[in-house]
């Protein structure tokens, strides 16, 4: 039998466990967000007590500093737990529960459309940005001589997709070059000047995976529509990163990876297609004619990983519990903290737009004059255990523009201590240099994987 002291100790332990469970789930996040609801997002961005609640919602390896969150992000505990929950449910009797979960995922489509600003019948749930964009790229009818205008800094897999159509069908692909950072007007003018009578498609990023260069999506979409040109936008790094509504972009198709900034399980993406354009895109896998104008034709892949898809609902709930404005403000605060600390050094070059109005939130690129970024990335990892990604050149095989940068991308679980350690490491490299012999050993340049 428990005595009074033992009973109180047990109650204390249970209370601690209950608090930990609450902090790692949606209840703790919602309560914390409610407590700051009357404050502006920019003010909340600096509130470390609030963001500590967010950090507790993740199970992370804090022996490493992850500043490559533009790749694939950890899921919150509540999201990961829901994957296992749905997997166990389906595994009990797949022939019964798989169909049930599949039908219930319709609620995720409704919630995603409401959150990101489109009609539910314009939102297809896919496995990632590459699948979403290839549906649009391979699904639009083109014939020999038709022209696609894209950029040299678009995502490698998407450029490869256009190159394959060029080889198979004889279409023309024009890749525009531009400096980084660039202005919105400059990017608009480059597309406008490149239009020819054979131009059928504009394909560009909302923000690039390299420097987070933002494009004037709405303006380019309006320009394209006035010329009868289709717009396909790569939003892999945008949705869930900073607030906007899909319908306001006015593009024809928009593809997203949700395992990035929405913190969904790997294998989740979405494709927005403007309703009147749905019949104009063929699906990747055959669909019956009766689905020609049905957004669900783009989801046909055979047997789905429904547990992963259903868990998207928890990722969306987590995003909403923080709030899109607060999340974007925090990401910008973290980025400006390191960028402002380094940018005044004469050898440091920031290749992302840091000014107002905001064009940079959680992704920015930097280099140090005289230090190869591959060497720098290895130095950061070896001495400070900082994970970042060095990016060199353009998209293979046509690396025709000079580009070198270290891409730095924190997330909501990144601490100020981790950001400040990165600043210290960069100042160390500036002051003391980096052993040049390390460059040949580094093989971390990523091509087409983030």
> Exposed/middle/buried for 323, CB within 10 Å: 0-12, 13-18, 19+?
middle
Which residues, in sequence order, are bridge partners of residue 140? Answer: 281
Mean pLDDT of the chain: 91
Q: For residue range 387-409, what is the model confidence (pLDDT) as tens digits?
A: 999 988 754 444 445 578 999 99
% the chain with pLDDT above 90: 86
Question: For residues 52 and 437, which has the higher predicted lDDT (pLDDT)?
Answer: 52
* pTM for the whole structure: 0.91
CATH class of domain segment(s) 82-317: alpha beta
The pLDDT value given to residue 339: 98
Q: For residue range 133-177, what is the model confidence (pLDDT) as tens digits?
A: 999 999 999 999 999 999 999 999 999 999 999 999 999 999 999
Q: Which residues 6+ apart lie within 8 Å of 192 measured at CB? A: 223
Counting Cα atoms < 13 Å in the Cβ hemisphere of 302 gives 0
Q: For residue range 306-354, what is the model confidence (pLDDT) as tens digits?
A: 999 999 999 999 999 999 999 999 999 999 999 999 999 999 999 999 9
The pLDDT value given to residue 33: 94
Q: Which residues 6+ apart lie within 8 Å of 182 measured at CB? A: 213
The pLDDT value given to residue 426: 98
Which residues, in sequence order, are bridge partners of residue 149? Answer: 174, 202
The pLDDT value given to residue 303: 87
**Confidence bin at 224 (pLDDT 50/70/90):** very high
Counting Cα atoms < 13 Å in the Cβ hemisphere of 251 gives 28
Instruction: Match 């923080």 to its residue by tokens.
Output: 322
Q: What average pLDDT score do residues 191-204 get?
A: 98
The pLDDT value given to residue 403: 73
Q: How many residues does the chain have?
A: 450
294 alpha-carbon distance from chain centroid: 26
- Decide the pairing of beta strands 389-392 and 386-387: unpaired
The pLDDT value given to residue 394: 53
Question: For residues 85 and 401, which has the higher predicted lDDT (pLDDT)?
Answer: 85
Rounded to whole angstroms, the Cα distance separating 283 from 15 reads: 52
Given a cut of 60, is residue 301 above it in pLDDT? yes
Given a cut of 80, is residue 9 above it in pLDDT? no
DSSP H stretches of helix in 36-152: 41-44, 48-55, 77-92, 94-104, 106-116, 129-139
79 closest CA partner among 103, 59, 61, 104: 59
The pLDDT value given to residue 24: 54
**Confidence bin at 437 (pLDDT 50/70/90):** low
- 3-class secondary structure, 64: coil
């Amino acid at each position: 039998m428990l005595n009074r002291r033992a009973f109180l100790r047990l109650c204390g332990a249970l209370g601690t466990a209950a608090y930990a469970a609450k902090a790692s789930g949606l209840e703790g996040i919602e309560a914390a967000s409610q407590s700051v609801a009357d404050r502006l997002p920019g003010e909340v961005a600096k509130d470390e007590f609030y963001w500590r609640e967010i950090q507790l919602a993740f199970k992370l390896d804090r022996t490493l500093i992850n500043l490559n969150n533009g790749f694939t992000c950890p899921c919150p505990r509540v999201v990961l737990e829901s994957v296992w929950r749905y997997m166990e449910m389906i595994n009990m009797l797949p022939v019964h529960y798989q169909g049930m979960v599949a039908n219930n995922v319709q609620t995720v489509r409704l919630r995603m459309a409401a959150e990101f600003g489109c009609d539910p019948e314009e939102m297809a749930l896919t496995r990632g940005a590459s699948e979403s964009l290839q549906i649009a790229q391979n699904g639009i009818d083109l014939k020999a001589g038709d022209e696609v205008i894209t950029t040299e800094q678009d995502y490698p897999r998407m450029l490869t997709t256009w190159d394959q159509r060029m080889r198979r069908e004889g279409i023309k692909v024009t890749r525009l070059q531009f400096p980084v950072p660039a202005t919105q007007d400059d990017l608009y003018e480059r597309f406008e000047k490149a239009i020819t009578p054979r131009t059928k498609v504009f394909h560009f990023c909302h923000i690039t995976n390299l420097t987070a260069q933002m494009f004037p999506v709405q303006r380019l979409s309006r320009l394209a529509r006035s010329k009868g040109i289709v717009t396909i936008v790569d939003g892999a790094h945008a949705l869930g990163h900073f607030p906007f509504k899909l319908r306001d972009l006015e593009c024809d198709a928009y593809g997203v990876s949700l395992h990035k900034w929405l913190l969904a399980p790997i294998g989740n993406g979405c494709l927005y297609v403007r309703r009147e354009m749905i019949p104009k895109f063929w699906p990747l896998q055959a669909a019956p004619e009766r689905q020609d104008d049905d957004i669900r034709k783009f989801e046909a892949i055979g047997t789905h990983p429904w547990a992963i898809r259903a868990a998207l609902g928890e990722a969306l709930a987590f995003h909403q519990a923080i709030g899109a404005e607060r999340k974007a403000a925090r990401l910008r605060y973290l980025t400006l903290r390191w960028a402002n600390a380094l940018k005044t050094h004469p050898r440091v070059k920031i290749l992302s737009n840091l000014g107002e109005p905001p064009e940079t939130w959680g992704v920015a690129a930097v280099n140090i004059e005289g230090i190869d970024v591959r060497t720098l990335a290895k130095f950061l990892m070896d001495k400070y255990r900082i994970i970042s990604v060095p990016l060199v050149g353009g998209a293979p095989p046509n690396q025709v523009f000079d580009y070198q940068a270290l891409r730095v991308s924190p997330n909501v679980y990144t601490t100020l201590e981790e950001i400040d350690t990165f600043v210290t490491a960069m100042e160390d490299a500036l002051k003391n240099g980096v052993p040049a012999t390390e460059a040949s050993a580094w093989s971390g340049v990523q091509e087409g994987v983030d």
